[in-house]
Structure 1
């Protein structure tokens, strides 16, 4: 990964019914109103790496933010460098 190749976008929502619709026990996981969604754009293609990444993310969120991992949704969106334009409308990796 090139130096400084990291970007973060954080969007916070208040925890009101108008901000999100969630089911409290989807897939058998009992959640409360403190749900957190994290979406990553990444190039992790191996299932083992994805599982490790999700587990480590849950550990860090629990340790550093006091959020119960049962309230954490992690979505990995795979892409390649060819899927990015890093300004000014140029697909630098194509």
Structure 2
């Protein structure tokens, strides 16, 4: 098998993204004054350059939930998987898209 054939069969070649790239993630949870700051703290270990000033925040119509759109600098599929695991496992997070 040639190096080119091995590269074509690698899991990275199955990716729909070219890394590195900016990748938006939607995070929803119960309204809490520290929700955005908590999400920043959960993401920073995986993206040290994460810019918290770019977070888009939306309250639900009833005000019970907060939705955030965060944009991370994705460098690999593994990094994105780690971020999703950290967010979905966090007790303040209800949904991650």
Q: TM > 0.5 between the two?
A: no
Instruction: Please identify which structure carries the higher strand content.
Output: 2
Q: TM-score normalised to the size of structure 2?
A: 0.30
Structure possessing the higher relative contact order (Cα contacts under 8 Å, 6 or more residues apart): 2
Q: TM-score normalised to the size of structure 1?
A: 0.31
Instruction: Please identify which structure carries the higher helix content.
Output: 2
